[in-house]
Structure 1
Amino acid sequence: MEGPLPMNLLYTDTEDDLRAAVRSLLTDRYDLPAALRRAESGDPYDADLWSSLAGGIGAAGLLVPEKLGGQGAGHREAAVVLEELGRAVTAAPYLTSSVVATETLLGCDTDSTDVAGLLTALAGGHRVAVLALPLTTPPDGPLPAAADTVTGVADAVRADVLLVPREDGLYAAETEGPGVSVEPLTPLDLTRPLAAVTLDPAAGIRIADAATGRAAVRRGLLAGAGLLASEQLGVAEWCLEETVKYTKERHQFNRPVGSFQALKHRMAQLWLEVVSARAAARNAAGALATGSPETALAVAVAQAYCGRVAVHAAEECVQLHGGIGMTWEHPAHLYLKRAKADSVALGSAGRHKETIAELVDLPE
């Protein structure tokens, strides 16, 4: 009896075209020095860039069905967008709103006027929604108990709507509405702000019952963790490419430092890790797109591996750039901070390894 066909991890022509469009937009409109200045000011977001990415290109609606105003695409396409956003450490609520919150809403009753209307607004880039849970919440871990204040909520300062899990269901609350307060925190990664969200128990409207809400939240977190691997891949790719480029140009003893055997070995090892990370990230995106029964395993493998690769690539980028890599003016520190923050987002590598052990029935 023949088994299922192996998943095609190669990029399609459509995905390549989408990548080119996103990269062109970021090249023309996203300037890292300017982004650093905005991040230092406490507001790293570029509203015009988000409007062009979300509405102009249509990236925000990739996961939303066409009947609700989206593109009707899938997770592989969204993964390509996140790769490019990772390469530019873009300050945009794409992962939190266009993936996690959108997937959570898709797990609710999309025939409901409230849910359908919010999905349409998200797909057009007109509104931003964020799941009111700490960024570190893993897909399969215990969901935090309902509390008046939730800390570590990513992109809450940019959100128009908060999706709030409570014991009796899932609620949607306007950030500007009564009983809702969003207090910015000081994050490690200045390009993905965190906030403490304080909610009155009566704030918001219920959009799903308790069982549906829990399943929807887990669906959103699983998709977020799987596609976060693509963002981590983008971070690692940029760090590797910039390091190779710099070591070709930087000379010592009248020769490029990249010609020294010790550095060659370090960059070759990093290249192997990045190639493997690409396979893991693409596999997770493909599993999510097809609804594979092994999706949870594919996501856990991708997160257990890609987070470590991104951190290693960013550390090597800083170290092999020498003195300039240690300066505030060079963007390497932004990539290191994004990689470090991502390594604990939606579950640490250790938490995902525990998930892998449970899924494949490894002894404790």
Structure 2
Amino acid sequence: MKLVLDEEQRQLREAVRAFLGAASPLSKARHGYDPQVYARLNGELGLAGLIIPEEYGGAGAGLAELAVALEETGAALLPGPFLATAFAAIALTRAPDKELLAAVAEGRTTATLAQTPVDLDGGAVRGTPAQVLSGMEADVLVAPARGGDGDVLVAVELAGPGVTRTPLETLDPTRGQARVVLEDAPARVLGPAPDVGDLLCVALAAEQLGVMRAALDAIVAYAKIRVTFGRYIGSYQGVKHKLADMHCKLEQAESIVRYAAWAADESPDELPGAAALAQAYVGRACFEVARDHLLLYGGIGFTWEHDAHLFYKRAKADEVLLGPPRIHRARLAQLLEL
């Protein structure tokens, strides 16, 4: 088991952190998706192709490296389709299509993954995938499909015929979702539909870890400079205890995410339990840290102008993205035969 980043992973973390600090600071996050930042993210760092095999133009890295990148994009509340494309890339590496993988790795194509299956009839699909992540920004929808030959994975051009996209009003203003209606939309069969649910849980937990860390760092810094009744608020016992509790949650979450990412790359037998644990614990812990950091700001934390509500909303949206924590707790209990 490996819970500590190696030198290359630390270098990746610093590179992504430095890039996002300059190109996508929090002051830009509230304005939504910037295609130029996303293009630079792929052009300069190649993050879209991080886990895509080298034979398709990617870096051939593992989920542990993707987790490092997602932690930093989560901490920066990066708007746009990076998480959606990471989800799609995870599925595509298990049903490889040379043309599509190469386009994603080069940053020419932005993909997203549907969670609910559609119906395949011949070369066309019908269905309405619910709440497609970054559905308005993506170029290609990768989706499981039910057909005569069993469940397969298909790719649908979202700007093609038979596709209607409608933006949804979401809690998180930094990342959009869409309702996608497919009515005999042309589709390309990529191969048998892979089971990637556990891998998606790990990837999402990595982003949640970044959200937790950034929220805690922000409120600790504020507690050191905010004075009330002639004292820094960080000197009050109630504040110190709350910050200590938040730090403990962060430390536990980091260990869980590192373990789950290691299991995804090195120990597939341990992955189901590690993935269920990641979402059962990290999802709720992330929301609690974001909630408490907002409350500790006092009145200013509730204003629209402050960034605290952005962390709060991202944390809540992520907590239920792959199902509420109770679903993952139930699965973990089943795996442990409890």
State whether TM-score is above 0.5: yes
Aligned mates of 1:66, 1:97 — CA distance in 2 = 17
Match of 1:47 among 13, 32, 35: 35
Aligned mates of 1:235, 1:145 — CA distance in 2 = 32
The CA deviation at 1:33 is 2.6
Q: Pairwise mapping of residues 161-176 of structure 1 onto structure 2 (< 5 A)?
A: 161-168=140-147, 169-176=152-159
Aligned mates of 2:94, 2:207 — CA distance in 1 = 23
Q: So what's the TM-score if we normalise by structure 2?
A: 0.94
Aligned mates of 1:126, 1:30 — CA distance in 2 = 20
In the alignment, which residue of structure 2 is the partner of 1:90?
A: 78
The CA deviation at 1:202 is 4.3
Aligned mates of 1:85, 1:206 — CA distance in 2 = 31
In the alignment, which residue of structure 2 is the partner of 1:116?
A: 98
Q: 1:127 to 1:202 in 2, by over 3 A?
A: closer
Q: Does 1:190 align with 2:166?
A: no
Q: Does 1:77 align with 2:65?
A: yes
Q: Pairwise mapping of residues 163-242 of structure 1 onto structure 2 (< 5 A)?
A: 163-168=142-147, 169-208=152-191, 212-213=192-193, 216=194, 218-219=195-196, 221-242=197-218
Q: Pairwise mapping of residues 33-44 of structure 1 onto structure 2 (< 5 A)?
A: 33-36=27-30, 38=31, 44=32
The CA deviation at 1:253 is 1.8
Q: Could you list the structure 1 runs, at least 4 aligned residues long, displaced by more than 3 angstroms after superposition.
A: 143-147
Q: Pairwise mapping of residues 97-176 of structure 1 onto structure 2 (< 5 A)?
A: 97-98=85-86, 100-108=87-95, 110=96, 115-133=97-115, 146=119, 148-168=127-147, 169-176=152-159
Q: Which runs of 5+ in 2 are unaligned?
A: 120-125
Match of 1:17 among 4, 8, 11: 11
The CA deviation at 1:145 is 6.2
Aligned mates of 2:133, 2:3 — CA distance in 1 = 30
The answer to whether the 8 Å contact 2:160/2:185 transfers is: no
2:198 counterpart letter in structure 1: L
Q: Percent same amino acid at aligned positions?
A: 40
1:297 counterpart letter in structure 2: G
The CA deviation at 1:151 is 2.4
The answer to whether the 8 Å contact 1:277/1:306 transfers is: yes
In the alignment, which residue of structure 2 is the partner of 1:320?
A: 296
Q: 1:261 to 1:202 in 2, by over 3 A?
A: closer
The answer to whether the 8 Å contact 1:222/1:296 transfers is: yes
Q: So what's the TM-score if we normalise by structure 1?
A: 0.87
The CA deviation at 1:227 is 1.4
1:268 counterpart letter in structure 2: A
Report SS of the residue matched to 1:229: helix
2:170 counterpart letter in structure 1: P
The answer to whether the 8 Å contact 1:250/1:257 transfers is: yes
In the alignment, which residue of structure 2 is the partner of 1:343?
A: 319
Deviations for 1:111-150, whole angstroms, at most 9, x for unmatched residues? xxxx1110011111111111123xxxxxxxxx55646222
Could you say which structure has the higher strand fraction? 2
Aligned mates of 1:117, 1:80 — CA distance in 2 = 27
1:230 counterpart letter in structure 2: A
Deviations for 1:227-281, whole angstroms, at most 9, x for unmatched residues? 1111111111111111111111111121101100111111111101100000011
Aligned mates of 1:202, 1:25 — CA distance in 2 = 38
The CA deviation at 1:165 is 2.0
Q: Which runs of 5+ in 1 are unaligned?
A: 1-6, 39-43, 134-142
In the alignment, which residue of structure 1 is the partner of 2:249?
A: 273
1:66 counterpart letter in structure 2: E
1:160 counterpart letter in structure 2: D
Aligned mates of 2:265, 2:280 — CA distance in 1 = 20
RMSD: 1.4
Deviations for 1:7-61, whole angstroms, at most 9, x for unmatched residues? 111011111111111111111111323331x2xxxxx211121112123101111
Aligned mates of 2:17, 2:212 — CA distance in 1 = 16
The answer to whether the 8 Å contact 2:81/2:134 transfers is: yes
Number of matched pairs: 328
